[in-house]
Structure 1
Amino acid sequence: MGDWLAHIEVPDLVGMTGREAHALCRDLGLFLGYYNMDQQLPLSMVIAYQEPLPGTMAAPAAAVRIWTTLDPLPDGRRPQ
């Protein structure tokens, strides 16, 4: 039972702005990671994809990586 309480359900961030997603992840105890760590997260851009997927159980302070509508997806495609 203690192991279950030590995990956080990853929220659905797709469609949120970077600012909204950052606030939600911070409140839940997760870290929001932008796919391109060489650039600052554009807080006004809309999130098109995330890893891990919504509903996944993650450890506290785990990273949820996001891609915005202007970024190539992990497989190289662009969001529709």
Structure 2
Amino acid sequence: MPTLTMDAETRTAIKDLVCDILEIEPDEVTETSLFKEDHGADSLRAIEILASLEKRFKVVIDQAELSRMVNLEGIHAVLTEAANG
């Protein structure tokens, strides 16, 4: 299984995916801005982000990890663990 590194290209792909699902512009999102509180995401959007990440990066992410996936920083951590764990 290939390991995943959080290089600039990967981070951009994740940000683009999140922005597409949340229907927001990339410049509105920071590493620590909160999807729910700052960008109005609901639980369905969170699940959509999780499913899209799994498909895009060919990993399996437990739904329990959604509680950590509240911003880009959280997604990077969860995705890295899922891919390299």
Q: TM-score, normalised by structure 2?
A: 0.32
- The structure with the larger Rg is 1
> Which structure is higher in strand share?
1
> Which structure is higher in helix share?
2
Q: TM-score, normalised by structure 1?
A: 0.33
